Amino acid sequence: MDALARAYYRAIDEEEYETLSTLLAPEFTHDRPDRTIDGREAFVRFMRDQRPETDTTHEITDVFRNEHAIAVRGELIHADGEAWFEFVDVFTVEDESIVSLKTYSGSTDE
């Protein structure tokens, strides 16, 4: 399951939206602090066309898992190497697909 989460971040960071689509269940939902995005196509469209900044990298620091879920802790890094914010993503996985994602985030400012 770790490989599925890592493939998700790689697809976003490398702007591989077709690959991203294959990782998500059709009924995929992303619940994040600023919005909820329902549906695989709506999410891929948001990542491709509407997210605030696309030149970023997800740096994973910890991965926790059980039978049906993966929690990933990390930082979103700007292109200049500066940390933008910390996050914890909780993935729900069924039948080798990501069904839902809940994002918790906070500032890296001290």
Cα gap 32→34, rounded to integer Å:
6
Confidence of residue 109 (pLDDT cuts 50, 70, 90): very low
What are the structural domains of the chain?
2-107 (3.10.450.50)
Confidence of residue 59 (pLDDT cuts 50, 70, 90): very high
Position 51 scores a pLDDT of 84
Return contacts of 103-109, CB within 8 angstroms, 24+ apart. 103/30, 103/31, 103/32, 103/33, 104/33, 105/32, 105/33, 108/75, 108/83, 108/84
Q: Give pLDDT tens digits for 9-48.
A: 999 999 999 999 999 999 999 999 889 999 999 999 999 9
Identify whether the C-beta of residue 4 lies closer than 8 Å to the C-beta of residue 89.
no
Side chain identity, residue 39: G
The answer on pLDDT for 2 being more than 90 is no
